[in-house]
């Protein structure tokens, strides 16, 4: 029984991280309607930039947690201004292909500059060791990632639902014409929201640096799981991303524990089942299906 609780805790901890990593994807889709396939590459960039800043200027984990997402936000703004904005009015496929291409370019540039073997990263101070609770124990860092991810998810949710900015952003995307008629400059909000989503991907990358391999390819496999998360949760739904993040984390942990060979397949079986029953995902609005 204690083994089962241990696996459950691990699943929840992993799920929290998935939720955070998928959050930016959900926000960008919810607001811009862009399926951002460069999300995995931006996650990778967040981790690589952290490792490079640590190596070159000695920037440690804690300041990186603030500075790297800001850099990634600026990068996102640049991407939106230079590329994404021109395709927003066209079929969604165009931006999908564009971001896919951007991902390929980013991965290859990192490979060219930093090779393929992976970059070293330290264990952040204060987060080493394990937390014990009776016979159960979890790595301190894993618990931190979980708590931090939840905090960010709640903040983003509050920002979107409880503040004036969130209201304008949501109105701009749901009813752009009527919002314009009310005297709000809709286009002004598109760029920062895209940057915000990319910043969240970068934040997930910084969190990944101490417990994942930092290589150019690290986002390639990961983005697939993230897409499973947002599809299960309902594209564009912040709450959906969080709930689905936990579901995927749990399914993965139980899979690893009880059916090792099938732990990854189980995630996609779950995705298929959810789409069969609720095509828009758990928290997607039915009319979008």
Partner 1 sequence: MARKTKSAAIAACMTGALVLAGCGGGGPSAGGGKISDDKVVLAVLNDQSGVYKDLSGPNSVEAVKMAVADYQKKYGDKAVASDIEVISADHQNKPDIANTKAQEMYDRQKADIILDVPTSSAALAVAGVAKQKKKLFIDVGAGTTELTGASCNKYTFHWAYDTAMLAKGAASQVKNGGKKWSLVYPDYAFGQDMNKSFTSAIKEGGGTVQQSIPTPFPNDNFATFITKAASSKPDVIGTMAAGGDLINFVKQFNQSGMRDKATLAVGLMFITDIHSLGVDQFAGTTFTDAWYWNFDKKNREWADRFKEKTDTRPSFAHAANYSAALQYLEAVQRAGTDDSDAVVGELEGKKLNDVFLRDGEVRADHNVIHDTYLAEVKKKSEVNEPWDYEKIINTIPAADAYEPVSKACSL
Asked if residue 34 lies in contact with residue 76, where contact means CB atoms within 8 angstroms, the answer is no
Length of the chain equals 289
Find the binder of partner 1 among 5, 74, 93, 133 (CB under 8 A): 93
* Nearest CB to partner 1, comparing residues 91 and 164: 91
| Residue written as token pair 């640096």 | 209
Reference 194, options 215, 209, 216, 172; nearest CA is: 172
Sites for partner 1 among residues 115-134 (CB under 8 A): 115-120, 123, 129-130
Sites for partner 1 among residues 21-40 (CB under 8 A): 29, 33-35, 37
Asked if residue 30 lies in contact with residue 194, where contact means CB atoms within 8 angstroms, the answer is no
**How many residues of this chain interact with partner 1, rule: CB under 8 A?**
67
Segment lying near partner 1 (by CB under 8 A), choices 78-86, 164-172, 197-205, 278-286: 278-286
* Nearest CB to partner 1, comparing residues 34 and 71: 34
Q: Does 235 bind partner 1 (CB under 8 A)?
A: yes
* Residue 155: burial class (beta carbons within 10 Å; 0-12, 13-18, 19+): exposed
Q: How far is the CB of 70 from partner 1 (least distance, A)?
A: 25
Our CA dihedral for 98, 199, 237, 151, rounded to 10 degrees, sits at 160
Find the binder of partner 1 among 57, 181, 261, 277 (CB under 8 A): 261
* Nearest CB to partner 1, comparing residues 37 and 189: 37
Terminus-to-terminus CA distance in the chain, angstroms? 40
Cα separation, 98 vs 100, whole angstroms: 5
Segment lying near partner 1 (by CB under 8 A), choices 91-99, 157-165, 187-195, 199-207: 91-99
Sites for partner 1 among residues 181-220 (CB under 8 A): 210-215, 217-218
Q: How far apart, in Å, are the Cα atoms of 268 and each of 72, 83, 249, 273, 275?
A: 30, 32, 12, 8, 10
Determine the number of helices (DSSP H) and then strands (DSSP E) in the chain: 12, 2
Q: Does 253 bind partner 1 (CB under 8 A)?
A: yes
Q: How far is the CB of 37 from partner 1 (least distance, A)?
A: 7
Reference 17, options 233, 271, 241, 232; nearest CA is: 241
Contacts with partner 1 by CB under 8 A lie at 3, 6-7, 10-11, 13-14, 29, 33-35, 37, 91-93, 96, 115-120, 123, 129-130, 137, 139-142, 210-215, 217-218, 221-225, 227-228, 230-231, 235-236, 252-253, 256-257, 260-261, 263-265, 268, 271, 275, 280-281, 284, 287-289
């Amino acid at each position: 029984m204690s083994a089962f609780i241990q696996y459950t805790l691990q699943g929840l901890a992993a799920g929290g991280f998935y939720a955070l990593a998928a959050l930016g994807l959900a926000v960008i889709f919810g607001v811009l309607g862009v399926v951002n396939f460069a999300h995995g590459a931006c996650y990778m960039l967040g981790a690589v930039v952290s490792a490079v800043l640590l190596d070159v200027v000695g920037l440690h984990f804690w300041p990186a947690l603030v500075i790297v997402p800001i850099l990634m936000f600026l990068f996102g703004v640049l991407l939106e201004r230079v590329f994404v904005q021109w395709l927003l009015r066209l079929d969604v496929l165009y931006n999908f292909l564009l971001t896919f291409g951007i991902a390929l370019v980013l991965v290859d540039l990192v490979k060219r500059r930093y090779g393929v073997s992976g970059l070293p990263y330290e264990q952040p101070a204060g987060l080493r060791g394990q937390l014990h609770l009776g016979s159960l124990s979890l790595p301190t860092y894993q618990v931190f990632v979980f708590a931090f991810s939840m905090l960010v998810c709640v903040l983003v949710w509050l920002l979107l639902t409880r503040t004036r900015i969130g209201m304008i952003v949501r109105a701009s995307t749901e009813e752009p014409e009527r919002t314009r008629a009310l005297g709000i400059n809709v286009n002004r909000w598109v760029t920062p929201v895209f940057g915000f989503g990319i910043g969240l991907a970068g934040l997930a990358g910084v969190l990944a640096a101490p417990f994942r391999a930092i290589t150019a390819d690290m986002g390639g496999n990961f983005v697939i799981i993230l897409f499973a998360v947002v599809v299960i949760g309902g594209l564009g739904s912040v709450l959906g991303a969080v709930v689905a993040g936990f579901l995927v984390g749990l399914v993965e942990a139980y899979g690893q524990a009880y059916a090792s060979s099938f732990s990854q397949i189980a995630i996609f079986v779950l995705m298929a089942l959810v789409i069969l029953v609720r095509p828009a995902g758990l928290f997607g609005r039915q009319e979008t299906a």
